[in-house]
């Protein structure tokens, strides 16, 4: 399903306010940057293209090291730098390219400058240890094992896995979700959400077209069609004699309780992430179109607004609030968020009684005086915004001319 949204649904209201009110040059510039991002989201690449060369070099610069099957990063050998030549080693180049795609995704979709928002360098280590069946974020850099060829092939073979690991760094620098129990499962889910979005964005897939799988390219290379996790269908990513059946829950009534220890996966963080993963999937398909646009923006803004100890209900409530701020209360997008969390049995706090009613008004078109006022106000808002967009478009043209 592809939907054309009115412009007020794409530019968040708080940016609208800046657009409408600001006399300040810097603020106008910030608004302009945002406009460029939003313009890009709508496929208007031409505007952005005129700026692609304007990005300062040295933001999120990549360096890939070869561990040569050692576990000690100090012994690793420099294999590829941001400006250096391609490596003869495919693992090095895959890691380099995937780190670049993930960095570009955050920059172009969310205007985020690397992991910390301030251009932090991206260091990746390939061939980590002997046949290590894992990829991880150590708090500063990303490490990728070669796999054993049975459970996993070379972990650099999966863009969503690499983006998953880099996103752990982004979470560290935003919500800081603590890595145990529900906040830990949210931490894991955020990495799956943005890991999958990076892949969808790179393939230009709509929510309907995407496979919503994590690790499909590297998990059990001998078995086709399976993956480590499925956001669309948690609990059904794999089913094989050696590893059994995917144990991820897709709703609160199936929540997995394990001890908050290494052996208990820090309180089942890689299990219960299935619940918020499914909520994101449902939100994205119900909104339709490209998942990184509306659903991704709601989740990204919510990540930035969340705290280290937030649980599922807190995060669900934050996404509901952010959907209201970004797309107006009672919007299609906010309703999608609400229905998604309801389906996975996570209650959302503070849902106004009127939300459902506002929604039904919009659907059945049975507008009273109040609705007419709302529509008139909205039309006025859109009209004012259009004026500003035109002004900004002129700014863009002027800047383009100045280059």
Q: Is 176 exposed, middle or buried (0-12, 13-18, 19+ CB in 10 A)?
A: middle
Only segment of 67-75, 96-104, 185-193, 195-203 that touches Zn ion (CB under 5 A): 185-193
CA distance 316 to 338: 8
Sole residue written with tokens 């106008």: 28
Give the dihedral sign, CA 110/113/115/116. Answer: negative
Q: Which does 246 bind (CB under 5 to 8 A by kind): Zn ion, other proteins, none?
A: other proteins
Q: Work out whether 196 is an interface residue with Zn ion (CB under 5 A).
A: no
CA distance 344 to 295: 16
Backbone angles phi, psi at 205, to 5 degrees: -95, 140
DSSP structure string for 238-273: -EETTTEE----SSGGGPPP--SSTTTHHHHHHHHT
Sole residue written with tokens 């030549």: 85
CB of 402 to Zn ion, least distance (A): 44
CB of 183 to other proteins, least distance (A): 12
140 vs 349, which CB is nearer to other proteins?
140
85 vs 244, which CB is nearer to other proteins?
244
191 vs 230, which CB is nearer to Zn ion?
191
Only segment of 81-89, 116-124, 186-194, 287-295 that touches Zn ion (CB under 5 A): 186-194
CA distance 164 to 213: 12
Q: Which does 96 bind (CB under 5 to 8 A by kind): other proteins, Zn ion, none?
A: none
Strand runs labelled E in 67-149:
77-81, 122-126, 135-137, 142-144
Q: Which does 122 bind (CB under 5 to 8 A by kind): Zn ion, other proteins, none?
A: none
CB of 164 to other proteins, least distance (A): 8
Q: Output the CA–CA distances (angstroms, integers) from residue 97 to 64, 74, 202, 284, in the order listed.
A: 10, 23, 11, 26
191 vs 335, which CB is nearer to Zn ion?
191
Q: Work out whether 273 is an interface residue with Zn ion (CB under 5 A).
A: no
CB of 188 to Zn ion, least distance (A): 5
Which of 114, 189, 191, 317 binds Zn ion (CB under 5 A)? It is 191
Q: Which does 243 bind (CB under 5 to 8 A by kind): other proteins, Zn ion, none?
A: other proteins
Q: Which does 359 bind (CB under 5 to 8 A by kind): other proteins, Zn ion, none?
A: none
Tell me which residue of 139, 30, 146, 168 sits closest to 95, measured CA to CA: 146
CB of 235 to other proteins, least distance (A): 10
174 vs 191, which CB is nearer to Zn ion?
191
CB of 194 to Zn ion, least distance (A): 11
Using DSSP bridges, classify how beta strands 244-245 and 77-81 pair: parallel, antiparallel or unpaired. unpaired
Q: Is 174 exposed, middle or buried (0-12, 13-18, 19+ CB in 10 A)?
A: buried
Query: Residues interacting with other proteins, by CB under 8 A?
Result: 69, 71-72, 129-140, 143, 148, 151-152, 155, 161, 164-165, 168, 172, 179, 187, 191, 215, 219, 228, 242-244, 246-248, 262-263, 265-266, 269-271
Tell me which residue of 250, 257, 256 sits closest to 341, measured CA to CA: 250
Token reading at 291:
């998942």
Are the beta carbons of 105 and 111 closer than 8 angstroms? no
Classify 234 in phi/psi space as left (phi over 0), alpha (psi -120 to 50) or beta: beta
- 270 among known catalytic residues: yes
The number of helices, as runs of H, and strands, as runs of E, in the chain is 14, 9
Q: Which does 139 bind (CB under 5 to 8 A by kind): other proteins, Zn ion, none?
A: other proteins
152 vs 315, which CB is nearer to other proteins?
152
Q: Which does 138 bind (CB under 5 to 8 A by kind): Zn ion, other proteins, none?
A: other proteins
Only segment of 120-128, 188-196, 284-292, 368-376 that touches Zn ion (CB under 5 A): 188-196
Sole residue written with tokens 């969310």: 110
Catalytic residue among 108, 127, 164, 165: 165
CB of 271 to other proteins, least distance (A): 6
Q: Work out whether 38 is an interface residue with Zn ion (CB under 5 A).
A: no
Catalytic residue among 127, 270, 301, 332: 270
Chain residues in the site for Zn ion (CB under 5 A): 191
Q: Which residues are catalytic?
A: 165, 270
């Amino acid at each position: 399903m592809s939907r054309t949204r009115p412009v007020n649904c794409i530019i968040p209201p708080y940016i609208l306010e800046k657009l409408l009110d600001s006399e300040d040059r810097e603020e106008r510039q910030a608004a302009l940057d945002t406009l460029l991002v939003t313009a890009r989201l709508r496929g208007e690449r031409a505007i952005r293209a005129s700026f692609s060369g304007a990005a300062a070099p040295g933001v999120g610069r990549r360096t890939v090291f070869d561990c040569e099957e050692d576990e000690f990063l100090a012994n690793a050998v420099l294999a590829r730098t941001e400006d250096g030549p391609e490596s003869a080693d495919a693992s090095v180049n895959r890691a380099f390219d995937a780190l670049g795609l993930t960095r570009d995704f955050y920059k172009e979709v969310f205007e985020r400058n690397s992991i910390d928002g301030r251009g932090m360098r991206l260091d990746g280590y390939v061939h980590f240890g002997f046949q290590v069946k894992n990829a991880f974020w150590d708090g500063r850099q990303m490490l990728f094992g070669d796999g054993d060829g049975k459970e996993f092939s070379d972990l650099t073979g999966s863009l969503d896995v690499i983006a998953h690991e880099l996103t752990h760094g982004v979470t560290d620098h935003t919500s800081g979700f603590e890595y145990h129990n529900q906040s830990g499962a949210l931490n894991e889910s955020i990495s799956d959400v943005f890991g999958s979005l990076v892949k969808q964005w790179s393939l230009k897939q709509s929510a309907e077209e995407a496979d919503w799988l994590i690790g499909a390219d590297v998990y059990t290379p001998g078995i086709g069609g399976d993956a480590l996790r499925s956001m669309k269908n948690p609990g059904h990513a794999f089913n094989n004699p050696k590893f059994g059946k995917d144990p991820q829950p897709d709703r609160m009534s199936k929540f997995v309780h394990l001890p908050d220890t290494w052996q208990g996966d820090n309180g089942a963080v890689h299990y219960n992430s299935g619940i918020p993963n499914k909520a994101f999937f449902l939100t994205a398909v119900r909104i339709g179109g490209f998942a990184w646009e509306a659903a991704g923006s709601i989740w990204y803004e919510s990540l930035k607004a969340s705290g280290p100890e937030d649980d599922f209900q807190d995060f669900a409530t934050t996404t509901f609030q952010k959907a209201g701020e970004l797309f107006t209360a009672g919007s299609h997008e906010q309703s999608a968020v609400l229905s998604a969390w309801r389906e996975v049995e996570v209650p959302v706090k503070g849902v106004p009684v009127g939300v459902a009613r506002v929604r039904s008004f919009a659907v059945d078109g049975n507008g009273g005086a109040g609705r007419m006022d709302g529509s008139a106000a909205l039309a006025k808002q859109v009209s004012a915004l259009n004026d500003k967009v035109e002004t900004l478009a002129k700014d863009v043209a002027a800047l383009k001319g100045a280059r």
